[in-house]
A and B are shown apart, each in its own frame.
Chain A
């Protein structure tokens, strides 16, 4: 069974930093892109960042470029999101998401339960 368990969400002041983690299990981690998708309270879904299977390629939504860094540790089957210079508009539930695709990221096929970040 695919499991994605996020942690690290917290209340932080504007300008602060936070690191989210996601522990993955139940699938071969190195075979998948991984992504972070967020959802502000009462709002829709917004893709934040993704990372290729071997970590060689990363992509970000414009609003977080230069502030957020996605990374992964394939030995620990874990995904991370380092968030710096946080803004009020970054307040959201952050989902860790397994992403289909080999050379390119495709659909988001499994989602964690999310972790709340409040700025």
Chain B
């Protein structure tokens, strides 16, 4: 099993600021990585796939980078609707998720 580790657990950011979320895989997953956003009471939503490709309808302020074992999700200027929990997920092997990063005000 590939273990995904996200950091930090909680990120406190002010609206308009930049947020940087990290995700590390326990082994090389090339670029087989996705990021999801989940708001309370809602299903997750795909943001990024292939480590850096934005999903349909995702604003340009969301960007993904990295390859191999270390990945980053950056939100360039946080909007009020961006406060949520973010999960990374690898699909290089049986799918596994990170434990999530909560982005709070």
Query: What is the interface of chain A, defined by CB distance below 8 A to chain B?
Result: 35, 44-47, 50, 59, 61, 95, 100-101, 104-114
Contact = CB atoms under 8 A, between A and B. Distances in A.
B43 A112 contact: yes
B45 interface: yes
B32 interface: yes
Given A108-B89, A112-B43, A44 B34 contact: no
B45 A105 contact: no
Interface residues of B, number: 22
21 contacts: A35-B95, A44-B87, A44-B98, A44-B100, A45-B36, A45-B97, A45-B100, A59-B94, A95-B44, A104-B91, A106-B49, A106-B91, A107-B89, A107-B91, A108-B34, A108-B44, A108-B46, A108-B95, A111-B44, A111-B45, A112-B43
Interface in B79-105: 87, 89, 91, 94-100
Contacts, number: 56
Chain B interface helix/strand/loop/mixed: loop
A47 B91 CA distance: 11
Contact of A105 (B49, B55, B95, B99): B95
Given A107-B34, A108-B36, A109-B55, A45 B44 contact: yes
A101 B46 CA distance: 15
A33 B71 CA distance: 25
A112 B93 CA distance: 23
Given A44-B87, A45-B89, A113 B43 contact: yes
Contact of A107 (B42, B46, B94, B100): B46
Contacts of A101: 91
A109 B36 CA distance: 9
B94 A47 contact: yes
Interface string B46-65: 10011000010000000000
Nearest to A2: B56
Nearest to B48: A107
A32 to B, nearest CB: 13
Contact of B96 (A47, A50, A95, A114): A47
